[in-house]
Amino acid sequence: MIVSKFGGTSVGSYEAMSHSASIVAKNPGRKLIVISATSGTTNDLVALEDFSLNSTDKESRLIAIETRHKSIIQECPNKEELLTRFNGQLSELRIHLEQQSRDKRWKDRLYAFGELMSTYIFADVLRTRGVEVEWLDARKIIKTDSTFGNAVPELATIKKKADTHIQKEKVYLTQGFIGSDIFGSTTTLGRGGSDYSAALFAEAVGADTLEIWTDVAGVFTTDPRIVKNARAIPEITFDEAAELSVFGGKVLHPATLKPAIRSGIDVKVLSSKEPELKGTTIVKKSESEPVIRAISLRKDQTLLTVRSLDMLHQHGFLAKLFTVLANNQISVDLVTTSEVSVSLTLDTAAKASNKVELTEKVYRELSEFCDVEVERDLSLVALIGNKLNTTSGVSGKLFSMLKDHNIRLVCHGASANNICFLVEEGTGEKIVKLLHKRFIK
Ligand code: ASP
Ligand code: MG
Protein backbone atom coordinates (compact mmCIF):
# COMPACT_ATOMS: atom_id res chain seq x y z
CA MET A 1 0.00 0.00 0.00
CA ILE A 2 1.23 3.46 -0.96
CA VAL A 3 0.31 6.76 0.63
CA SER A 4 0.86 9.64 -1.82
CA LYS A 5 1.08 13.26 -0.83
CA PHE A 6 0.79 16.06 -3.36
CA GLY A 7 1.98 19.50 -2.31
CA GLY A 8 0.49 22.89 -3.10
CA THR A 9 2.18 23.35 -6.46
CA SER A 10 1.13 19.83 -7.53
CA VAL A 11 -2.52 20.87 -7.10
CA GLY A 12 -2.08 24.59 -7.79
CA SER A 13 -3.77 24.72 -11.20
CA TYR A 14 -5.99 22.54 -13.34
CA GLU A 15 -2.98 21.41 -15.29
CA ALA A 16 -1.07 20.50 -12.14
CA MET A 17 -4.10 18.67 -10.74
CA SER A 18 -4.42 16.74 -14.01
CA HIS A 19 -0.80 15.64 -13.87
CA SER A 20 -1.16 14.59 -10.28
CA ALA A 21 -4.39 12.74 -10.99
CA SER A 22 -2.74 10.80 -13.83
CA ILE A 23 0.01 9.79 -11.46
CA VAL A 24 -2.52 8.47 -8.95
CA ALA A 25 -4.38 6.59 -11.68
CA LYS A 26 -1.24 4.81 -12.85
CA ASN A 27 -0.71 2.69 -9.79
CA PRO A 28 -3.63 1.01 -8.04
CA GLY A 29 -1.42 0.66 -4.96
CA ARG A 30 -1.95 4.36 -4.27
CA LYS A 31 -4.79 4.00 -1.81
CA LEU A 32 -4.57 7.10 0.29
CA ILE A 33 -3.98 10.48 -1.28
CA VAL A 34 -3.14 13.43 0.93
CA ILE A 35 -3.05 16.92 -0.51
CA SER A 36 -2.17 20.44 0.54
CA ALA A 37 -4.06 23.62 -0.16
CA THR A 38 -3.54 25.04 -3.65
CA SER A 39 -0.26 26.94 -3.62
CA GLY A 40 -0.57 30.44 -2.21
CA THR A 41 -3.86 29.78 -0.43
CA THR A 42 -2.49 29.13 3.05
CA ASN A 43 -0.42 32.31 2.75
CA ASP A 44 -3.57 34.22 1.83
CA LEU A 45 -5.41 32.75 4.80
CA VAL A 46 -2.56 33.60 7.14
CA ALA A 47 -2.66 37.19 5.86
CA LEU A 48 -6.40 37.30 6.51
CA GLU A 49 -5.99 36.52 10.20
CA ASP A 50 -4.61 40.01 10.75
CA PHE A 51 -7.30 42.14 12.33
CA SER A 52 -5.63 45.35 11.20
CA LEU A 53 -5.79 44.35 7.54
CA ASN A 54 -7.64 47.10 5.65
CA SER A 55 -10.66 46.17 3.62
CA THR A 56 -8.92 46.55 0.26
CA ASP A 57 -6.18 44.09 1.21
CA LYS A 58 -8.72 41.78 2.74
CA GLU A 59 -10.81 41.76 -0.45
CA SER A 60 -7.76 41.23 -2.64
CA ARG A 61 -6.77 38.16 -0.61
CA LEU A 62 -10.29 36.78 -0.82
CA ILE A 63 -10.40 37.44 -4.53
CA ALA A 64 -7.05 35.71 -4.99
CA ILE A 65 -8.44 32.61 -3.26
CA GLU A 66 -11.63 32.77 -5.28
CA THR A 67 -9.94 33.23 -8.66
CA ARG A 68 -7.39 30.51 -8.05
CA HIS A 69 -10.05 27.92 -7.25
CA LYS A 70 -12.62 29.03 -9.79
CA SER A 71 -10.13 28.91 -12.62
CA ILE A 72 -9.55 25.25 -11.76
CA ILE A 73 -13.25 24.53 -11.37
CA GLN A 74 -13.94 26.05 -14.81
CA GLU A 75 -12.03 23.18 -16.38
CA CYS A 76 -13.80 20.43 -14.46
CA PRO A 77 -16.67 18.47 -15.99
CA ASN A 78 -18.78 18.80 -12.85
CA LYS A 79 -18.29 22.53 -12.60
CA GLU A 80 -21.82 23.41 -11.49
CA GLU A 81 -21.72 21.13 -8.52
CA LEU A 82 -18.17 22.16 -7.59
CA LEU A 83 -19.01 25.82 -7.93
CA THR A 84 -21.98 25.54 -5.59
CA ARG A 85 -19.85 23.79 -3.01
CA PHE A 86 -16.99 26.25 -3.38
CA ASN A 87 -19.27 29.29 -3.10
CA GLY A 88 -20.64 27.77 0.09
CA GLN A 89 -17.13 27.43 1.48
CA LEU A 90 -16.33 30.98 0.49
CA SER A 91 -19.36 32.36 2.35
CA GLU A 92 -18.41 30.24 5.33
CA LEU A 93 -14.94 31.76 5.17
CA ARG A 94 -16.40 35.27 5.08
CA ILE A 95 -18.57 34.53 8.09
CA HIS A 96 -15.55 33.12 9.92
CA LEU A 97 -13.67 36.34 9.24
CA GLU A 98 -16.47 38.37 10.83
CA GLN A 99 -15.87 36.76 14.20
CA GLN A 100 -14.42 39.04 16.81
CA SER A 101 -12.37 36.69 18.95
CA ARG A 102 -9.30 35.75 16.98
CA ASP A 103 -7.66 33.18 19.17
CA LYS A 104 -5.46 30.32 18.02
CA ARG A 105 -8.42 27.99 17.71
CA TRP A 106 -10.05 30.48 15.36
CA LYS A 107 -6.85 30.71 13.32
CA ASP A 108 -6.54 26.97 12.82
CA ARG A 109 -10.11 26.77 11.61
CA LEU A 110 -9.28 29.61 9.24
CA TYR A 111 -6.21 27.85 7.81
CA ALA A 112 -8.18 24.65 7.30
CA PHE A 113 -10.27 26.27 4.56
CA GLY A 114 -7.35 25.87 2.14
CA GLU A 115 -7.11 22.09 2.36
CA LEU A 116 -10.88 21.66 2.56
CA MET A 117 -11.30 23.64 -0.66
CA SER A 118 -8.57 21.88 -2.61
CA THR A 119 -9.66 18.36 -1.71
CA TYR A 120 -13.22 18.76 -3.00
CA ILE A 121 -11.94 19.91 -6.36
CA PHE A 122 -9.17 17.35 -6.66
CA ALA A 123 -11.62 14.57 -5.81
CA ASP A 124 -13.54 15.49 -8.93
CA VAL A 125 -10.41 15.61 -11.10
CA LEU A 126 -9.46 12.16 -9.82
CA ARG A 127 -12.89 10.76 -10.62
CA THR A 128 -12.67 12.01 -14.19
CA ARG A 129 -9.45 9.97 -14.43
CA GLY A 130 -11.40 6.91 -13.36
CA VAL A 131 -10.12 6.87 -9.79
CA GLU A 132 -13.13 6.29 -7.56
CA VAL A 133 -12.00 8.16 -4.48
CA GLU A 134 -13.83 8.64 -1.28
CA TRP A 135 -13.42 12.13 0.22
CA LEU A 136 -12.22 11.75 3.78
CA ASP A 137 -12.20 14.48 6.43
CA ALA A 138 -8.68 14.26 7.90
CA ARG A 139 -10.02 15.63 11.18
CA LYS A 140 -11.75 12.30 11.76
CA ILE A 141 -8.41 10.50 11.80
CA ILE A 142 -5.61 12.90 12.71
CA LYS A 143 -6.39 13.38 16.39
CA THR A 144 -4.10 15.81 18.18
CA ASP A 145 -3.72 17.69 21.42
CA SER A 146 -5.02 21.25 21.61
CA THR A 147 -1.80 23.10 20.80
CA PHE A 148 -3.36 25.13 18.03
CA GLY A 149 -0.93 26.11 15.30
CA ASN A 150 1.49 23.35 16.13
CA ALA A 151 -0.60 20.45 17.35
CA VAL A 152 0.95 17.21 18.59
CA PRO A 153 -0.59 14.08 17.06
CA GLU A 154 -1.96 11.37 19.32
CA LEU A 155 -0.65 8.25 17.69
CA ALA A 156 -2.67 5.56 19.41
CA THR A 157 -5.93 7.39 18.73
CA ILE A 158 -4.95 8.03 15.12
CA LYS A 159 -4.30 4.33 14.64
CA LYS A 160 -7.67 3.44 16.13
CA LYS A 161 -9.51 5.97 14.00
CA ALA A 162 -7.74 4.76 10.87
CA ASP A 163 -8.72 1.17 11.67
CA THR A 164 -12.35 2.22 12.01
CA HIS A 165 -12.68 4.62 9.09
CA ILE A 166 -10.25 3.40 6.44
CA GLN A 167 -10.93 0.25 4.48
CA LYS A 168 -7.98 -1.29 2.68
CA GLU A 169 -9.77 -1.93 -0.60
CA LYS A 170 -10.96 1.64 -1.12
CA VAL A 171 -9.09 4.72 -2.35
CA TYR A 172 -9.31 7.84 -0.21
CA LEU A 173 -8.51 11.48 -0.74
CA THR A 174 -7.88 13.57 2.33
CA GLN A 175 -6.34 16.81 3.61
CA GLY A 176 -2.84 17.31 4.88
CA PHE A 177 -2.01 19.81 7.61
CA ILE A 178 -5.28 19.59 9.57
CA GLY A 179 -6.53 17.49 12.44
CA SER A 180 -8.77 17.89 15.44
CA ASP A 181 -8.54 17.73 19.22
CA ILE A 182 -10.74 15.75 21.59
CA PHE A 183 -13.34 18.50 21.60
CA GLY A 184 -13.57 18.30 17.84
CA SER A 185 -11.94 21.69 17.27
CA THR A 186 -9.83 21.92 14.14
CA THR A 187 -6.07 21.96 14.75
CA THR A 188 -3.08 22.27 12.41
CA LEU A 189 0.34 20.64 12.46
CA GLY A 190 2.35 23.78 11.62
CA ARG A 191 3.14 25.34 8.25
CA GLY A 192 4.24 22.80 5.68
CA GLY A 193 2.60 20.13 7.83
CA SER A 194 1.01 18.11 5.03
CA ASP A 195 4.09 15.95 4.70
CA TYR A 196 3.79 15.14 8.35
CA SER A 197 0.10 14.33 7.98
CA ALA A 198 0.90 12.00 5.11
CA ALA A 199 3.53 10.23 7.19
CA LEU A 200 1.08 9.86 10.08
CA PHE A 201 -1.50 8.38 7.74
CA ALA A 202 1.12 6.05 6.25
CA GLU A 203 2.03 4.83 9.70
CA ALA A 204 -1.57 4.43 10.81
CA VAL A 205 -2.59 2.33 7.80
CA GLY A 206 0.65 0.34 7.75
CA ALA A 207 1.78 1.55 4.30
CA ASP A 208 5.00 0.24 2.73
CA THR A 209 5.82 3.45 0.90
CA LEU A 210 5.16 7.11 1.38
CA GLU A 211 5.43 9.23 -1.75
CA ILE A 212 5.96 12.96 -1.44
CA TRP A 213 5.10 14.51 -4.81
CA THR A 214 6.40 18.02 -5.13
CA ASP A 215 7.76 20.40 -7.75
CA VAL A 216 11.38 19.33 -7.48
CA ALA A 217 12.63 15.93 -8.50
CA GLY A 218 13.95 14.80 -5.15
CA VAL A 219 16.34 15.90 -2.48
CA PHE A 220 19.21 17.83 -4.06
CA THR A 221 22.90 18.06 -3.27
CA THR A 222 22.20 21.73 -2.67
CA ASP A 223 19.63 24.32 -3.63
CA PRO A 224 19.63 24.30 -7.48
CA ARG A 225 18.74 28.00 -7.43
CA ILE A 226 22.16 28.62 -5.93
CA VAL A 227 24.23 26.00 -7.72
CA LYS A 228 23.12 25.19 -11.27
CA ASN A 229 24.60 21.71 -11.42
CA ALA A 230 23.16 20.60 -8.10
CA ARG A 231 21.59 17.19 -8.65
CA ALA A 232 19.03 14.89 -7.15
CA ILE A 233 20.42 12.36 -4.68
CA PRO A 234 19.15 8.88 -5.66
CA GLU A 235 19.26 7.43 -2.16
CA ILE A 236 19.84 9.00 1.21
CA THR A 237 19.56 7.74 4.78
CA PHE A 238 16.92 8.90 7.22
CA ASP A 239 19.60 10.40 9.43
CA GLU A 240 21.02 12.55 6.65
CA ALA A 241 17.60 13.51 5.36
CA ALA A 242 16.49 14.53 8.82
CA GLU A 243 19.49 16.83 9.16
CA LEU A 244 18.84 18.21 5.70
CA SER A 245 15.20 18.92 6.32
CA VAL A 246 16.06 20.81 9.48
CA PHE A 247 19.03 22.61 7.98
CA GLY A 248 17.48 24.13 4.94
CA GLY A 249 16.66 21.52 2.30
CA LYS A 250 13.05 22.70 2.29
CA VAL A 251 11.78 19.66 0.44
CA LEU A 252 10.42 17.92 3.50
CA HIS A 253 8.80 19.10 6.67
CA PRO A 254 11.32 18.22 9.40
CA ALA A 255 8.88 16.09 11.36
CA THR A 256 7.88 13.97 8.39
CA LEU A 257 10.53 11.42 8.81
CA LYS A 258 9.74 10.51 12.38
CA PRO A 259 6.74 8.25 11.71
CA ALA A 260 8.52 6.79 8.68
CA ILE A 261 11.65 5.92 10.66
CA ARG A 262 9.60 4.49 13.49
CA SER A 263 7.64 2.25 11.20
CA GLY A 264 10.24 1.44 8.55
CA ILE A 265 8.31 3.05 5.70
CA ASP A 266 10.36 4.00 2.63
CA VAL A 267 9.90 7.62 1.68
CA LYS A 268 10.19 8.76 -1.92
CA VAL A 269 10.47 12.38 -2.97
CA LEU A 270 9.26 12.81 -6.55
CA SER A 271 8.31 15.53 -8.99
CA SER A 272 4.75 15.62 -10.28
CA LYS A 273 6.03 17.69 -13.23
CA GLU A 274 8.53 15.03 -14.23
CA PRO A 275 7.09 11.81 -12.83
CA GLU A 276 9.40 9.68 -14.98
CA LEU A 277 12.44 10.80 -12.97
CA LYS A 278 13.50 8.55 -10.13
CA GLY A 279 13.65 11.24 -7.43
CA THR A 280 15.11 10.40 -4.07
CA THR A 281 14.42 7.41 -1.87
CA ILE A 282 15.00 7.83 1.83
CA VAL A 283 15.98 4.59 3.52
CA LYS A 284 17.26 3.32 6.83
CA LYS A 285 20.56 2.15 5.43
CA SER A 286 22.04 3.25 2.13
CA GLU A 287 24.50 1.33 -0.08
CA SER A 288 26.69 4.35 -0.40
CA GLU A 289 27.32 6.55 2.58
CA PRO A 290 29.67 9.33 1.45
CA VAL A 291 31.22 11.64 4.02
CA ILE A 292 29.68 14.68 2.35
CA ARG A 293 26.43 14.17 0.51
CA ALA A 294 24.83 17.59 0.47
CA ILE A 295 25.30 21.20 1.44
CA SER A 296 22.50 23.34 2.72
CA LEU A 297 21.91 26.96 3.45
CA ARG A 298 19.43 28.43 5.88
CA LYS A 299 18.98 32.16 5.90
CA ASP A 300 17.49 34.51 8.45
CA GLN A 301 19.32 33.18 11.46
CA THR A 302 19.40 34.96 14.75
CA LEU A 303 22.34 34.41 17.06
CA LEU A 304 21.83 34.97 20.74
CA THR A 305 24.86 35.33 22.96
CA VAL A 306 24.52 35.50 26.72
CA ARG A 307 27.36 36.22 29.08
CA SER A 308 27.60 36.13 32.79
CA LEU A 309 30.54 36.16 35.10
CA ASP A 310 28.36 34.19 37.50
CA MET A 311 28.78 31.31 35.16
CA LEU A 312 32.40 30.91 36.16
CA HIS A 313 32.65 27.61 38.05
CA GLN A 314 28.93 27.71 38.75
CA HIS A 315 26.35 25.08 38.22
CA GLY A 316 22.84 25.63 37.05
CA PHE A 317 23.44 28.54 34.68
CA LEU A 318 22.62 26.60 31.54
CA ALA A 319 19.58 25.12 33.23
CA LYS A 320 18.37 28.61 34.10
CA LEU A 321 18.97 29.88 30.57
CA PHE A 322 17.16 27.00 28.93
CA THR A 323 14.31 27.22 31.40
CA VAL A 324 13.60 30.80 30.32
CA LEU A 325 13.69 29.76 26.68
CA ALA A 326 11.54 26.70 27.29
CA ASN A 327 8.98 28.65 29.31
CA ASN A 328 8.66 30.99 26.37
CA GLN A 329 8.33 28.09 23.94
CA ILE A 330 11.55 28.95 22.15
CA SER A 331 13.32 25.95 20.74
CA VAL A 332 17.08 26.11 20.32
CA ASP A 333 18.98 24.81 17.31
CA LEU A 334 22.71 25.15 17.83
CA VAL A 335 24.68 25.83 20.96
CA THR A 336 28.30 26.55 21.73
CA THR A 337 29.58 27.53 25.11
CA SER A 338 32.67 28.90 26.75
CA GLU A 339 33.31 29.27 30.45
CA VAL A 340 31.35 32.50 30.73
CA SER A 341 29.20 32.68 27.65
CA VAL A 342 26.74 30.72 25.58
CA SER A 343 25.89 31.34 21.95
CA LEU A 344 22.86 29.79 20.42
CA THR A 345 20.65 29.98 17.40
CA LEU A 346 16.92 29.76 17.57
CA ASP A 347 15.01 27.09 15.79
CA THR A 348 13.02 28.82 13.10
CA ALA A 349 12.14 25.60 11.28
CA ALA A 350 10.01 24.26 14.11
CA LYS A 351 7.87 27.34 14.02
CA ALA A 352 7.66 28.07 10.35
CA SER A 353 4.28 29.70 10.90
CA ASN A 354 5.52 32.46 13.15
CA LYS A 355 9.07 33.49 12.71
CA VAL A 356 10.87 33.13 16.01
CA GLU A 357 11.65 36.50 17.46
CA LEU A 358 13.04 37.28 20.83
CA THR A 359 10.23 39.10 22.49
CA GLU A 360 10.76 41.97 24.90
CA LYS A 361 9.63 39.61 27.66
CA VAL A 362 12.29 36.98 26.96
CA TYR A 363 14.92 39.64 26.65
CA ARG A 364 13.94 41.05 30.04
CA GLU A 365 13.87 37.66 31.73
CA LEU A 366 17.34 36.83 30.45
CA SER A 367 18.77 40.24 31.27
CA GLU A 368 17.98 39.59 34.92
CA PHE A 369 20.90 37.21 35.18
CA CYS A 370 23.13 37.80 32.15
CA ASP A 371 24.15 40.20 29.39
CA VAL A 372 22.30 39.48 26.20
CA GLU A 373 23.45 40.22 22.70
CA VAL A 374 21.41 39.53 19.59
CA GLU A 375 22.89 39.37 16.10
CA ARG A 376 20.74 39.06 13.03
CA ASP A 377 21.25 38.67 9.29
CA LEU A 378 23.23 35.50 9.51
CA SER A 379 23.09 32.36 7.39
CA LEU A 380 23.71 28.83 8.46
CA VAL A 381 25.72 26.58 6.15
CA ALA A 382 25.61 22.86 6.84
CA LEU A 383 27.55 19.95 5.37
CA ILE A 384 25.45 16.83 5.50
CA GLY A 385 26.86 13.34 5.19
CA ASN A 386 28.15 10.40 7.18
CA LYS A 387 30.78 9.81 9.85
CA LEU A 388 31.57 13.50 9.79
CA ASN A 389 32.59 13.40 13.43
CA THR A 390 35.04 10.53 13.03
CA THR A 391 36.53 11.18 9.59
CA SER A 392 39.82 12.98 9.90
CA GLY A 393 40.70 15.91 7.71
CA VAL A 394 37.21 17.14 6.86
CA SER A 395 37.22 20.21 9.05
CA GLY A 396 40.81 21.00 8.03
CA LYS A 397 39.83 21.06 4.37
CA LEU A 398 36.66 22.94 5.12
CA PHE A 399 38.13 25.74 7.18
CA SER A 400 41.16 26.24 4.96
CA MET A 401 38.68 26.98 2.18
CA LEU A 402 36.93 29.53 4.32
CA LYS A 403 39.94 31.44 5.49
CA ASP A 404 38.70 34.69 3.94
CA HIS A 405 35.35 34.53 5.67
CA ASN A 406 34.34 35.41 9.15
CA ILE A 407 32.71 32.44 10.82
CA ARG A 408 30.49 33.32 13.75
CA LEU A 409 29.83 29.91 15.21
CA VAL A 410 30.74 26.30 14.45
CA CYS A 411 28.96 23.12 15.49
CA HIS A 412 30.92 19.99 14.91
CA GLY A 413 31.17 16.76 16.77
CA ALA A 414 27.71 16.19 18.16
CA SER A 415 26.32 14.69 14.99
CA ALA A 416 27.84 12.16 12.64
CA ASN A 417 25.69 13.57 9.88
CA ASN A 418 26.30 17.28 10.05
CA ILE A 419 28.91 20.02 10.43
CA CYS A 420 27.53 23.53 10.38
CA PHE A 421 28.58 27.10 10.85
CA LEU A 422 27.15 30.60 10.77
CA VAL A 423 28.31 33.25 8.34
CA GLU A 424 27.17 36.72 7.37
CA GLU A 425 24.03 36.64 5.27
CA GLY A 426 25.72 38.22 2.25
CA THR A 427 28.36 35.51 1.95
CA GLY A 428 26.22 32.39 2.43
CA GLU A 429 25.51 31.64 -1.22
CA LYS A 430 29.08 32.22 -2.28
CA ILE A 431 30.30 29.78 0.35
CA VAL A 432 27.77 27.16 -0.69
CA LYS A 433 28.94 27.44 -4.30
CA LEU A 434 32.55 27.09 -3.25
CA LEU A 435 31.93 24.06 -1.05
CA HIS A 436 29.69 22.33 -3.55
CA LYS A 437 32.35 22.63 -6.21
CA ARG A 438 35.03 21.30 -3.90
CA PHE A 439 33.18 18.52 -2.12
CA ILE A 440 30.45 17.44 -4.51
CA LYS A 441 31.33 18.94 -7.94
N1 ASP B 1 -1.04 24.25 3.28
C2 ASP B 1 -0.16 24.21 4.42
C3 ASP B 1 0.93 25.24 4.29
O4 ASP B 1 1.05 25.92 3.29
C5 ASP B 1 0.40 22.85 4.64
C6 ASP B 1 1.33 22.34 3.56
O7 ASP B 1 1.33 22.83 2.44
O8 ASP B 1 2.05 21.40 3.82
O9 ASP B 1 1.68 25.41 5.20
MG1 MG C 1 4.16 22.31 1.34
7 Cα–ligand 1 center, Å: 8
CA angle 276/277/279 to nearest 5° reads 135
Mean of the pLDDT values across residues 179-204?
Answer: 96
Atom of ligand 1 nearest to the CA of 8: 7
60 Cα–ligand 1 center, Å: 20
Q: With the C-alpha atoms ordered 113, 252, 202, 24, is the resulting torsion angle positive or negative?
A: positive
Q: Is residue 193 part of a domain?
A: no
Q: Is residue 377 part of a domain?
A: yes
Atom of ligand 1 nearest to the CA of 190: 9
142-171, pLDDT tens digit by residue? 999 999 999 999 999 999 999 999 999 999
Q: Is residue 161 part of a domain?
A: no
In whole angstroms, what separates CA 369 from the centre of its chain? Answer: 35
Q: Is residue 345 part of a domain?
A: yes
Distance between CA atoms of residues 405 and 426, nearest Å: 11
Q: Is residue 181 part of a domain?
A: no
Q: Is residue 14 part of a domain?
A: no
For the chain, how many structural domains are there in total?
1
Helix (H) or strand (E) holding 70: helix 55-73
312 Cα–ligand 1 center, Å: 46
Q: Which domain holds residue 401?
A: 293-439
Is the Cβ–Cβ distance between 353 and 258 less than 8 Å?
Answer: no
233-283, pLDDT tens digit by residue? 999 998 898 888 776 666 787 788 889 989 999 999 999 999 999 999 999
Spatial CA neighbour of 133 closest among 21, 14, 16: 21
pTM of the model: 0.85
Q: Is residue 415 part of a domain?
A: yes
Choose the residue to mutate in 194, 201, 250 for probing ligand 1, maximizing ligand atoms within 8 Å of C-beta. Answer: 194
Where residue 360 sits, what CATH number does that domain have?
3.30.2130.10
Q: How does residue 415 score in pLDDT terms, banded at 50, 70 and 90?
A: confident
Q: Is residue 83 part of a domain?
A: no
Question: Coil, helix or strand for 221?
Answer: coil
